[in-house]
Amino acid sequence: MAGPAPAAHENWSSRLAFMFAAIGSAVGLGNIWKFPYEAGEGGGGAFVLIYLAFVFGIGVPVMIAELSLGRRGKMSPPNAVRSVAKQEGRSNLWSIAGWSGVIGAFLVLSFYSVIAGLTLSYMVDSFSGSIDTLDASNSADYFGSITGNFPLLLLWHAIFMGLTIAVVARGIHGGLEKAVTWLMPALFAILILLVTYAMAVGDAASTFTFLFQPDFSKVTLETVIQALGQAFFSLSLALGSIMAYGAYVPRDVSLPKSAFIIAGADTAVAILAGLAIFPIVFQYGLEPGAGPGLVFITLPVAFAQMPGGILVGGAFFLLLAIAALTSAISLLEPIVAWLEEHRGINRVKSAIGGGIAIFILGIGSVLSFNYWADVTFLRGTVLDNLDFLTNNIIMPLGGLLVAVFVGWRMKRISIRDELAPKSEFGFALWLFMLRYVCPLALG
């Protein structure tokens, strides 16, 4: 598997550019539609506490490890891990820790793009006013009519993949950095506006109870596992993205500090998303329904009733689309970096080729909503299976391998060299979490 000598990659042009890109990766559909609902259902404040413990106790240590591997290996995830393993005198097989990321990213992006396409469709329909008439009786039917429309869903999936390819094809400086320096401030601005609006016109009291009042009786083992999975997905771990971005981080940037900022921003956005959504849901007496239902069925009903709902609704779906796009580019990047290095294919061709392959796989997920809705095997539809495979197998496995490799197989001196720890206590604590706690939790 020894490919041609890989070309050295570019670096982020500033620390801020890296922060925007990494936070853009972390903040995605997971924050805006999944977290608020899971928190509300999983015991409010109790879930939030467990989630925070996982984010900072397990997610951050693994993120530091991934960033270190990326920066030390200076290549796409599989080659970065292989190169570090070689420096450390370890087996080539450790590159599986990078492979699982690239393969996982490929699979996840294939269905992530389909959902993101749906948000684009809703965004256009919101701004054009065509869904301003939805009410509780027909919103679900409308959702069904969109997802049941195979060519329409396919078209939006294609448009979203096209946007993602267009950004990644332009490279780190001309593509990713440029996109995130525009999109991330826009995302924060829209989010703050929506939270302010929701708090002003909506039912803030019920929202605080739902999201924050701890109810430990609702916490089951399943909730705990869900919180861990959500923490991993939300932080973009074990799918190659963070490791690939780590490869472009200049030497003088502190990785531990960066990881804390990324995790903090990601968590803040998740909570803010809840504060934007639930006041409106409760104000209009709607049920905080699950996952896609909350965002695509329940919220449009609220938008249709509220004054200025066309703009608020449009802004909300724009927010989702931006969040999804900055995550999608981070899923395509590890794949493109690998194609570039390993096959010597230039970036434009790699982005187009990789993107088209992902688009084609995504057709399976598009079909899962309509023609193949009844075609189920193993865990359900094609989409259900991809979701299960990535969430329950590839991600925990990838995270475990990274933790074990960095925690047990790298020399202390190399890790110290990479992290330049300022606090001995912090370093020891990180290593302890990585060696004992992370493998246990992920295993």
Integer Cα distance of 139 and 295 in angstroms: 11
C-beta of 101 vs 256, nearer to ligand PHE: 101
C-beta of 22 vs 211, nearer to ligand PHE: 22
Query: With contact defined as beta carbons under 8 Å apart, do 110 and 385 qualify?
Result: no
Integer Cα distance of 336 and 325 in angstroms: 16
Q: Which residue is nearest to ligand PHE (CB)?
A: 28
C-beta of 194 vs 304, nearer to ligand PHE: 194
Considering the complex, what minimum distance in angstroms separates the CB of residue 306 from ligand PHE?
A: 26
C-beta of 28 vs 36, nearer to ligand PHE: 28
User: Burial code of 79-90, b = ≥16 C-beta within 10 A, e = fewer?
Assistant: bbbbbbbeebeb
Considering the complex, what minimum distance in angstroms separates the CB of residue 236 from ligand PHE?
A: 4
C-beta of 112 vs 282, nearer to ligand PHE: 112
DSSP 8-state code for residue 202: S
Structure tokens at 406: 């960095």
Considering the complex, what minimum distance in angstroms separates the CB of residue 417 from ligand PHE?
A: 27
Considering the complex, what minimum distance in angstroms separates the CB of residue 323 from ligand PHE?
A: 7
Residues binding ligand PHE (CB under 6 A) = 25-26, 28-31, 233-234, 236, 239, 241, 327, 330-331
Considering the complex, what minimum distance in angstroms separates the CB of residue 265 from ligand PHE?
A: 12
Q: Is 236 left (phi over 0), alpha (psi -120 to 50) or beta?
A: left
Helix axis angle, 221-234 to 255-283, nearest 10°: 120
Integer Cα distance of 72 and 226 in angstroms: 32
Q: Is 119 left (phi over 0), alpha (psi -120 to 50) or beta?
A: alpha
Considering the complex, what minimum distance in angstroms separates the CB of residue 65 from ligand PHE?
A: 16
φ/ψ of 316, rounded to 5, equals: -65, -45
Beta bridge partners of 377: 380
C-beta of 28 vs 309, nearer to ligand PHE: 28
C-beta of 258 vs 330, nearer to ligand PHE: 330
Considering the complex, what minimum distance in angstroms separates the CB of residue 413 from ligand PHE?
A: 31
C-beta of 327 vs 381, nearer to ligand PHE: 327
Considering the complex, what minimum distance in angstroms separates the CB of residue 34 from ligand PHE?
A: 7
Integer Cα distance of 127 and 185 in angstroms: 21
Integer Cα distance of 390 and 108 in angstroms: 7
C-beta of 147 vs 327, nearer to ligand PHE: 327
Considering the complex, what minimum distance in angstroms separates the CB of residue 119 from ligand PHE?
A: 12
List CB contacts of 13: < 8 A, sequence separation 6 or more: 173, 177
Considering the complex, what minimum distance in angstroms separates the CB of residue 443 from ligand PHE?
A: 20
C-beta of 106 vs 284, nearer to ligand PHE: 106
List CB contacts of 175: < 8 A, sequence separation 6 or more: 166, 167, 168, 169, 329
If we measure between CA atoms, which residue out of 367, 389, 14, 372 comes closest to residue 180? 14
φ/ψ of 427, rounded to 5, equals: -65, -45
- Three-state secondary structure of 325-376: HHHHHHHHHHHHHHHHHHHCCCHHHHHHHHHHHHHHHHHHHHHHCCCCCCCC
C-beta of 66 vs 203, nearer to ligand PHE: 66
Considering the complex, what minimum distance in angstroms separates the CB of residue 211 from ligand PHE?
A: 18
